Amino acid sequence: MKEAVVLYPSPHVGHLVSMVELGKLLLTHRPALSIHILIAAAPYIAGRTDKYISTVSASVPSIKFHHLPIVTPVSTTATHLEVLTLEVLHFSKPRVHEELINISKTCKIHGLIMDFFCTSGLSVANELHIPSYFFITSGACFLALYLHLPTLHQNTTKNFKDMKEHFLNVPGLLPVLATDMPKPFLERDNKAYQYFLDFATQVPQAAGIMINTFEFLESKVVRAISDGLCVPDNPTPPIYCIGPLILADDKRGGSSKTSPEDAHKCITWLDSQPNQSVVFLCFGSLGLFTKEQLREIAIGLEKSGQRFLWVVRDPPSHQAKWDDISMM
């Protein structure tokens, strides 16, 4: 029976790309593995993935994609896009169960590796006695904050957005201004907050946590997590720093060999800079900022005097995100 690992990413294109790169990494260590990737349909337009998936399928035959049936979110008036994604993933649980059963008919599944958005799949893995792992596409700093969320929740009854000039203490991190918490964490009564709070309490049940970082970059916070400081009331699973997992070139899903004439001018410029001299800014497929926010970032970069490479997306028009949702 063929040996397999199943990957379950969030439908956001940035999370999918990182998960595919994880699959490629696993294949470099175990070429005989079969990698199966479960694809949930995104509840809104967050970057087209069809072409990327087709390219990967053609170039890496050991990676197979399984498209889950479309699920309609319940929250049509959600104030956070994350709620729509989390509801789709939650209601996809029966389909995940079905796909794992089907894959297990021809393969021995050694593990289910989930994006933290896909924590609802943990109970499915447990039910089928499949070892479960989490893959954090962000860095260790976010993981520390995420794991410590239940503790922060217990220490106050206020919304973080209302705790003006109050700093939160998270092991391994500098004090975090409460109002600077990720947007889904700011309001306790919001459905996104409740989802993530529940998920954060479940993460310690996993067999391990993989992070898209390397230890030298975030050694202090990685130590704090590994020592169990972020989850004081439960054991912390083993931590594996396996990053940075990035595309090998500037073509999604393409060859790792890019000729100089095909390289983007930004890469050519970057190669000409001194080592460790450039600040890189990239906020993901959903990282949209207003014109005012972009201006503030630009002013900060200019005042820093540092070389920088900044991936900038056009500012959203009023209600642009929700217009995308209505098109689905």
The model's pLDDT over 286-310, given as tens digits with 9 standing for 90+, comes to 667 888 889 999 999 999 999 999 9
pLDDT of residue 327: 34
Given this model, what pLDDT does residue 60 score? 95
Helix (H) / strand (E) containing 209 = strand 208-211
Task: For residue 208, count other CB atoms closer than 10 A to its CB.
Answer: 15
Q: Which of 12, 15, 36, 148 is labelled catalytic?
A: 15
| Phi, psi torsion values for 257, nearest 5 degrees | -100, 110
User: Distance between alpha carbon 210 and the CA centroid of its chain, in Å?
Assistant: 11
Give the Cα separation of 114 and 132 in Å (integer): 8
In whole angstroms, give the CA distance from residue 253 to residue 230.
36
Q: Has residue 49 got a pLDDT over 90?
A: no
User: Which residue blocks in the chain are alpha helix, DSSP H?
Assistant: 13-29, 50-59, 81-91, 93-104, 122-127, 140-147, 149-154, 191-202, 219-226, 265-271, 291-304, 320-326
pTM over 0.85: no
* Range of lowest pLDDT (75-89, 175-189, 220-234, 263-277): 75-89
State yes or no: pLDDT of 80 exceeds 80.
Answer: no
| Burial (CB count <10 Å: 0-12, 13-18, 19+), residue 85 | buried
- Is 264 annotated as catalytic? no
Per-residue confidence at 323, pLDDT binned at 50, 70, 90? very low
C-alpha angle with apex 239: 136 to 52, nearest 5 degrees? 30
pLDDT band at 322 (very low <50, low <70, confident <90, very high): very low
278-281/307-310 β-pairing: parallel
Mean pLDDT taken over the chain: 87
Give the CA-trace dihedral at 263, 46, 184, 161, to 10 degrees.
70
H/E run at residue 6:
strand 2-8
Token readout for 184 is 């889904």
Asked if residue 56 lies in contact with residue 41, where contact means CB atoms within 8 angstroms, the answer is no
Closest CA to 253 of 105, 49, 113, 79: 49
Domain ranges of the chain: 2-254, 260-310
Do 215 and 190 touch, CB atoms closer than 8 A?
Answer: no
Single out the catalytic residue among 36, 80, 115, 148. 115
The verdict on whether 115 is a catalytic residue reads: yes
pLDDT at 45 over 80: no
Q: Which tens digit of pLDDT belongs to each residue from 194-238?
A: 999 999 999 999 999 999 999 999 999 999 999 999 999 899 999
CATH superfamily of this structure's domain 2-254: Glycogen Phosphorylase B; (3.40.50.2000)
User: How many Cα neighbours within 13 Å face the side chain of 319?
Assistant: 4
What pLDDT, in 10s, does the model give residues 236-268?
999 999 988 877 554 443 444 445 555 678 888
Separation in Å, CA 21 to CA 7, 35, 252, 269:
11, 11, 11, 25
Euclidean distance between CA atoms 115 and 98, whole angstroms: 19
Tokens, residue 320? 């642009």
pLDDT attached to residue 250 = 45
- Provide Rg for the chain, Cα atoms: 20
Q: Are 216 and 248 in contact (CB under 8 A)?
A: no
- Cβ-contact 9, 19 below 8 angstroms: yes
